[in-house]
Amino acid sequence: MFALRVEFLLGRMTSQSVHDRDEPEWPPHPVRLFYALVATHFETGAEPAEVRFLEWLEAQGPALLVASDGTRRVTVTHYVPVNDVRLQDGVGNLPDRRPRQPRTFPAFVPQDPVVYFVWPDADPPTDVRLAAATLCGKVSCLGHSSSLVGVAPVSAVPPATWEPSPDEQAEVVLRVPFPGLLAALRAAHQRFLASGVRGALPAAAQAYRRARRTPRVAKACSVFGTMVAFRRSEGPRLPATAAPMVARAMRRAILALAGEPIPEVLSGHQPDGSPSVRPHVAYLGLPDVGHRYADGHLLGVAALLPRDLSAEDRQKVLAALGRLQSLALGRLGLWRLVRLQGLPAAQGLWPETWCGPSRRWYSVTPVLLDRFPDTLWGREARACVAEACRRIGLPAPSVVQTSPYAVPRGAPPAFAFAPARGARERRPLVHASLAFSAPVEGPLLLGAGRFWGWGLFRPGPDEGGGDYAGLDI
């Protein structure tokens, strides 16, 4: 399988339908992604290795799509200066002296800003995969230049929502790549340079229908959905025990960038200052854990958005996150942050690393229990953890084990963490291992401090072994 994950970083796609310039395009046509890859290729040095990837991709046939439903944003007419012109007074290039033309920027706001393009039978060679990761990491927009995206190859995808179909079963016709498209685009560009006339870009037409799915039991999932991750590019190297402190620094930075009034979904507080009664954004540090060479240092930070977030709240959250560039860490200094838009170097920064689905989950930061059991390793403590699962929308696990030590390699023991800031007295801290009767989809944050990165879980293999060996639950 080969798949490309496209995340619309502002929560919307701005683009014009080829059939009606006042209507947005949705789902995104596969050829539009190919156009974006080709444009990025030529704008960033035209590396020869990327040519082989593009020629390989155009020959793979129509892709399956994973694209949620959503809403069309109301289209407003804007009057925009035309491109550079030369007027009689010689100052026509100044924007305020150019003629203005009416323009519309139709946009679609999906329920989930992540779209997948999937070729289930494709298996590219290693050099093609490497070139794909490099080129995708440089793509900045899809559709209009304001449709900022992050693109990356991925190895796991949700079930398809759109699939190619015979013409008589078509629900929509999408434009797709075809063998020889890269050469056809080169020829179209040469015609434009010679004539100055922009013609329609070449593409093939393909009928699509909504994917036919066999009935299945839906996976249980937590209240948390989209993860927006940032990599530490500069600043002090910190251990996993600093994760709650870094999470609080991230919240402070985001609230400062959000503007007034601060949305409840970001602050976790209602307008009167009382705690929010509905799910809100959680902030967390992402540690390097769960592999042979893991040492537990913090790779970066992330925000977890509630799964059932309105389109309006999602846009407010993504707009604030889009402004985040650094974290002030007091006496420790400053972190410079880079939002992940391509394939990150460390798997601990991939959202898929923390989302599962899996039957088995293991804590990497300890769970803050909401009450004081007789013993941290007994039945009452296990009941606290099971109740914490139900609190975030999960079924009760079939097996719970608590321990002072974490299973994933590199994660510090519970007693290495400082008490939760602001607690009147030290809350009990335990690591936990969970087994569910059916696969559960994350991300998983459990316990009283879940909005500050306490109780972060990582999925493990359903069978013991590897770097999760040592505790069979």
CA distance 4 to 439: 24
Using the predicted structure, report yes or no on whether residue 22 has a pLDDT greater than 80. no
CA distance 399 to 38: 50
CA distance 140 to 105: 18
Mean pLDDT to the nearest integer, 335-339: 92
Mean pLDDT to the nearest integer, 53-75: 89
Mean pLDDT to the nearest integer, 327-356: 83
Provide the pLDDT confidence category of residue 4 given band limits of 50, 70 and 90: very high
Using the predicted structure, report yes or no on whether residue 16 has a pLDDT greater than 90. no
CA distance 447 to 385: 7
Q: Is 27 exposed, middle or buried (0-12, 13-18, 19+ CB in 10 A)?
A: buried
% the chain with pLDDT above 70 = 87
Provide the pLDDT confidence category of residue 422 given band limits of 50, 70 and 90: low
Give the amino acid at 8: F
CA distance 446 to 438: 18
Contact 275, 268 (CB under 8 A): yes
Using the predicted structure, report yes or no on whether residue 343 has a pLDDT greater than 50. no
Q: What does the pLDDT look like over 232-258, one tens digit per residue?
A: 999 999 999 999 999 999 999 999 998
Mean pLDDT to the nearest integer, 118-136: 94
Give the range among 108-112, 139-143, 421-425 with minimum mean pLDDT.
421-425
Using the predicted structure, report yes or no on whether residue 463 has a pLDDT greater than 60. no
Mean pLDDT to the nearest integer, 428-448: 93
CA distance 382 to 406: 15
Mean pLDDT to the nearest integer, 417-437: 80
Domain 2-210 has CATH 3.30.70: yes
Mean pLDDT to the nearest integer, 1-18: 90
pTM higher than 0.75 for the full model?
no
% the chain with pLDDT above 90 = 59
Q: What is the pLDDT of residue 468?
A: 46
Using the predicted structure, report yes or no on whether residue 125 has a pLDDT greater than 70. yes
Mean pLDDT of the chain: 87
Please write down the long-range contacts of 263-269, taking CB distance under 8 Å and 24 or more positions apart: 263/313, 263/316, 263/317, 265/306, 265/309, 265/313, 265/316, 265/317, 266/316, 266/317, 266/320, 268/451
CA distance 317 to 267: 11
Mean pLDDT to the nearest integer, 111-128: 93
Q: What does the pLDDT look like over 178-221, one tens digit per residue?
A: 999 999 999 999 998 888 888 889 999 999 999 876 544 557 88
List the 107-110 sheet strands across, edge first.
Answer: 13-14, 107-110, 70-72
Using the predicted structure, report yes or no on whether residue 94 has a pLDDT greater than 80. no
Mean pLDDT to the nearest integer, 126-136: 94
Q: What is the pLDDT of residue 41?
A: 96
Per-domain residue ranges of the chain:
2-210, 220-468
